[in-house]
Amino acid sequence: MSRITAGIDVGGTFTDLLLQDADGRVRLAKVPTTTANQADGVLAAIAAAGSSPAALDLIIHGTTATTNAVLERKLAKVGLITTAGFRDVLELGRRTRPNPYGLKGTFEPLVPREWRREVAERMDARGAVVIPLDEDAVAREVRALLAEGCEALVVHFLHAYANPAHERRAGEIARSLWPNDYVTLGHELLSEFREYERGTTAAVNAAVQPVLDRYITRLQSQLAAQGHRRELLVMNGNGGTVPARLVARQAAKTVMSGPASGVMAAAATLAQSGLRNAITYDMGGTSTDVALIAGGVPEVSAELSIAYGLPIHLPMVDVRTVGAGGGSIAGIDRAGMFRVGPESAGSLPGPICFGRGGTRPTITDANLVLGRLDPARLLAVRDAVPMETVRAAFAAQIGAPLGMSLEQAAEATLRLANVHMSGAIRMVSLSRGHDPRDFCLFAFGGAGPLHAVALAREIGIPMVLVPARPGLTNALGCLVADLRQDAVNTLNRGLDDISAEEITQTLAAQRDRALAVVTADSAEVERTDVLHAADMQFRGQTHLIRVALPRIDMTRAEIQAAFESAYFARFQVQLPEIRAVLVNLTTTVIGRRRAFPLSALLDPAARVGEARVGERDLYAEGAWHRATVWQRERLAGGARIAGPAIIQQADATTVLEPRSEAVVDAIGNLRITVQP
């Protein structure tokens, strides 16, 4: 079957496209993101790749529409119907503050108090009715919220995960009155205990649903107007996709989908490289995203937050954001201590070299001063700042007070930044029970490859992998993504209190529900994989361990044994005297799409001319070196480059420090060995 498929990712700055032609060849495009209507940028990207919507058989789309809507609070007016006595749950949260120190900061709930309405009803923790549902009150409050101008509605009742009958009935009443489809029932999205997290997840869903629905509808119709006849697939934060007509129903799943696609691309790259463990390292201007891939599978978490007080407890690729990027500022504090970050110049005013008014030296400026970035390329901006201005800033603001040369000051900036990043990466991996030294560092994004070798050396990681197209990783994530659905049910009972039948039935029901969604677009799916797992703990603990369940008809003894061995693997502790508790049962259904051969990203036609394009002065380890400069696109498989060297390409620059060596592998990755 010859098909033309496009992966299109809308990021904060650029809209990226990777298009696979019927003959397997690949076309690329990078155009500015159109903030007002992202659809315009998507169409521009298709045109820039020399294609048209009519020619495309399938578009897989990653969007930041919902992420931006939440962060900028450009959300729908949401009303809430909830259990009497509990309307403030979404505002009270769980007794936190934004920072460990300092009693400042504010929090505005997604649904203001005047639109949170209570109705009489109550279930207990076992799902038995304590107070019957007041159906008249539901109708009355729904009408009142409509009169207030609410566009979306959440129905969220206590213990609905244990028995959703009241929530379902209230939902029926609400849907019969509500003029659109934007009614979210808390348990439908997430059937897990913890009322604040479940309710907030539902509120996020309702608040972005109209935003996403309008955007996807507009995009579909703009594509259709230009002759596209198929349905889009849209990326979710779990690293999988869903058909466009279903995506708005669970709109909250698209929040945080951008970073997830990068990690999915990394996982696909690793798989085709014969590798299994990686820490993904995506450094941008203001922050850095880090994720773990262990045994070929990206780590998933259902406990992420999009911002303070806004947890979204849906299974998502566990991407952690570290607040350090190219714009992090170097300076000296009031006590004369040298510091890099946490203050950032961001993108405005940005680094000095951007010429937007920045006056304080940043990590990006240090890269420029040390010859790691090409001044000729970076300074090709509208209001170019003379190199001397950047150098003078390091000399005056850091070098002079600390008694260093300006080069030493700039190198110290990178070194301290790497020390902080190394610490942050260690904490991310330790919190998941891993030693980062057992992983390779998968570097992408604009600035990842620039620092990866030095960072790997600081952490003690022996190998860095830079994929063929580090600047198009998110679009690649769309192109390689499979369809995916996750389901969770909370049991939270001792394993010996649960019958094997109940486990089997719950998992089978989860599987059937998820399969129905994944196979809705059966043309795309080559085969389906069903994965079951249990989240378990010892009685008295709060941390959960995820235990894979290879079959749905496992006996309790088999589950107990699987839990104990997973626990031992993580903590090296055996606790046979304490009861095991089964907290959640989960099922993931993955609809596998045709694999995308990454070697297609290599363009043999570009391999013309000498790969070695020159030499440049590079400052590293306290001295200037004459570094070789290479054009990445011209490197053939098997090529070997020893540091110090610089490998440049359209979308990124890779720096090989002294005592490191890169080899180009069969699918175009740079595999860099880093000596201590």
Partner 1 sequence: MIDALTLAVIQAGLQQVCNEMDITFSRAAFSPVIAEADDRSDGIYAAEDGALIAQGELGLPVFVGTMAHSAAHLVRLIGEGAVAAPEPGDIYIVNDPYLGGTHLMDVRFCRPFFVEGELFCWLQNTGHWPDIGGMVPGGFSAHATEVEQEGLRLPPVKLFKKGVLDREILSIIQSNIRVADQRIGDIKAQAAALLVGEARLSEMVSRYGLATLREAIAGIRARAAERMLAEIRRIPDGVYVSETFVDSDGVVDAPLRIALTVTRQGDELVFDLGDSSPPCQGPMNSVWATTCSAVYLAMKHIFPDVPINAGTFAPLRVIRPEGTFLDARYPRPVSGCAAEVSQRIAEAVFLAVAQALPAEVWAAPAGTSGNFALGGFDPARKAGYVMYQITGGGYGGTAEADGLTNGCSTIGISKTAPVEVMEQYYPVLFRRFAIHEGSGGAGAQRGGFGVHYEVELLRGEAKASFVMDHGRFGPPGVLGGGEGGKNIVKLHRNGSTTIPLHLSKDQGLQLRAGDRVEVMTPGGGGYGNPRDRDPALVARDVRRGYYTPDQAKALWG
Q: How far apart are CA 95 and CA 57, in angstroms?
A: 50
Phi (first) and psi of residue 635, to 5 degrees: -75, 135
What does each C-alpha distance from 186 to 74, 80, 300, 439 come to in angstroms?
22, 10, 21, 38
Among 23, 36, 72, 114, binds partner 1 (CB under 8 A): 114
Q: CB-wise, 9 or 657, nearer to partner 1?
A: 657
Encoded one letter per residue, x for contact with partner 1 by CB under 8 A and - for no contact, window 432-451 reads -x------------------
**Cα gap 198→195, rounded to integer Å:** 5
* Residue number with CB closer to partner 1 (88 or 529): 88
Q: What element of type H or E holds 177? A: helix 165-177
- Under the criterion CB under 8 A, does residue 91 sit at the interface with partner 1? yes
Under the binding rule (CB under 8 A), the answer on residue 305 touching partner 1 is no
Regarding 576 and contact with partner 1 (CB under 8 A), the answer is no
Q: How would you class 151 by CB atoms within 10 Å of its CB: exposed for 0-12, middle for 13-18, buried for 19 or more?
A: buried
User: Whole-number minimum distance, CB 139 to partner 1, in Å?
Assistant: 22
Burial grade of 641 (CB within 10 A; 0-12, 13-18, 19 or more): buried
Q: Greatest CA separation found in the chain?
A: 80
Asked if 573 touches partner 1 (CB under 8 A), the answer is yes
Positions in 151-210 near partner 1 (CB under 8 A): 158-159, 161, 193-197
Looking at 147, 335, 380, 608, which residue binds partner 1 (CB under 8 A)?
A: 335
Contact 651, 251 (CB under 8 A): no
Could you say which of 176, 179, 334, 626 contacts partner 1 (CB under 8 A)?
A: 334
- Taking CB under 8 A as the criterion, the residue among 50, 105, 609, 614 binding partner 1 is 105
Please say which residue, 638 or 676, places its beta carbon nearer to partner 1.
676
The tokens of 22 are what?
A: 């019927």
Task: Report which of 602, 194, 270 is spatially closest to residue 444, judged by C-alpha positions.
Answer: 270
Interface positions, 353-412, toward partner 1 (CB under 8 A) = 402-404, 412
Binders of partner 1 among residues 414 to 433 (CB under 8 A) are 415-416, 419-420, 423, 426-427, 430-431, 433
- Give 31 or 160: the residue with its C-beta nearer to partner 1: 160
CB of 421 to partner 1, least distance (A): 10
Residue 135 burial class via C-beta count within 10 angstroms: exposed 0-12, middle 13-18, buried 19 and up: middle
Site for partner 1 in 242-281 (CB under 8 A): none
Identify which of residues 431 and 555 has a Cβ nearer to partner 1 in the complex.
Answer: 431
Which positions from 314 through 333 interact with partner 1, judged by CB under 8 A?
332-333
CA angle (205, 283, 313) in 5-degree steps? 25
Dist CA 297 CA 549 (whole Å): 16
* Subset of 529-548 contacting partner 1 (CB under 8 A): 538, 540-543
Q: For residue 21, state whether it binds partner 1 (rule: CB under 8 A).
A: no
The per-residue DSSP string of 576-599 comes to TTS-EEEEEEEEEEEEEPPPPPGG
CA quadruple 144, 149, 150, 151: dihedral sign: positive
| Angle at the Cα of 542 from the Cα atoms of 100 and 198, rounded to 5 degrees | 75
Write the single-letter amino acid at 295. Answer: G
Which one of 84-92, 216-224, 299-307, 467-475 is the stretch in contact with partner 1 (CB under 8 A)? 84-92
Taking the complex as a whole, the smallest distance from the CB of residue 321 to partner 1 amounts, in Å, to: 17
Segment 480-519, which members bind partner 1 (CB under 8 A)? Answer: 492
* Residue 134 lies near partner 1 (rule: CB under 8 A): no
Per CB under 8 A, 96 contacts partner 1: yes
For partner 1, the binding residue among 1, 103, 376, 380 (CB under 8 A) is: 103
Least CB distance from residue 116 to partner 1, whole Å?
A: 9
Which stretch, 63-71, 99-107, 181-189, 236-244, contacts partner 1 (CB under 8 A)?
99-107
Length in residues, the chain: 676
For partner 1, the binding residue among 2, 106, 499, 522 (CB under 8 A) is 106
Query: Taking each helix axis from N to C terminus, what angle separates 406-431 and 387-394, rounded to the nearest 10 degrees?
Result: 80
Cβ closest to partner 1, residue 93 vs residue 470: 93
Binding-site size, partner 1 (CB under 8 A): 71
Between 386 and 433, CB nearer to partner 1 = 433
What 3-state DSSP class applies to 282?
A: strand
Handedness of CA 106, 420, 449, 395 (dihedral sign): positive
